[in-house]
Structures are given as C-alpha cells and as structure tokens.
Amino acid sequence: TMAELGEADEAELQRLVAAEQQKAQFTAQVHHFMELCWDKCVEKPGNRLDSRTENCLSSCVDRFIDTTLAITSRFAQIVQKGAQ
C-alpha cells in the first residue's frame, strides 16, 4: 500500500542521511588528524622533509588509518543491524 511504501522510503532516506553525516564526520576527522600530525611532526616547514619528520608523519598517519578502519568496521556493523 501507499502508507507502507512511504515508511520504506522514509527509512531509506534516514539511512542515506546517516551515511552522509558519517562521511562529513569522517572528512572532518581526516582534516583534524592531518593538522595534529603536522603540528606534532613538522617543526619548521622547508623545501624537503628530513627523515625524522617523514618517519613521524608516517607513523602518525598509520595510527590514524588503524583507528579509522576500526571505526569504519564498527559503523558497518551498526548499519547492518539497522538494515535487518
């Protein structure tokens, strides 16, 4: 019936909005994390990064990727539960 279709559409719309909010939050996190890594690792910007700065940035970003994967995995579990 039309009422059921409306509810299904509304639920789908809510899922899409939640996904967009998650993307926006993720983008903000990336921006914030890059600033943190930069502030933590780069003492004085120059034409080239020395090896210490490069290693610092690399491990900082690696930690970020690990954290992001854990969050993404958890979010996927929540979305799956919501879809059932």
Query: Residue written as tokens 């903000």?
Result: 28
pLDDT tens-digit series, residues 14-44: 889 998 998 898 888 888 888 999 999 998 8
If you count them, how many residues does the chain have? 84
- Report, as an integer, the average pLDDT of 55-62: 91
Q: Provide Rg for the chain, Cα atoms.
A: 20
pLDDT tens-digit series, residues 44-54: 878 888 999 99
The predicted pLDDT at position 31 comes to 87
Domain carrying residue 54 = 2-83
The predicted pLDDT at position 84 comes to 64
Token output for 21: 């909010």
Q: What CATH number does the domain containing 18 carry?
A: 1.10.287.810
Number of structural domains in the chain: 1
Higher local confidence (pLDDT), 64 or 1: 64
Token output for 31: 């921006």
Residues ≥6 apart with Cβ < 8 Å to 60: 36, 37, 40, 41
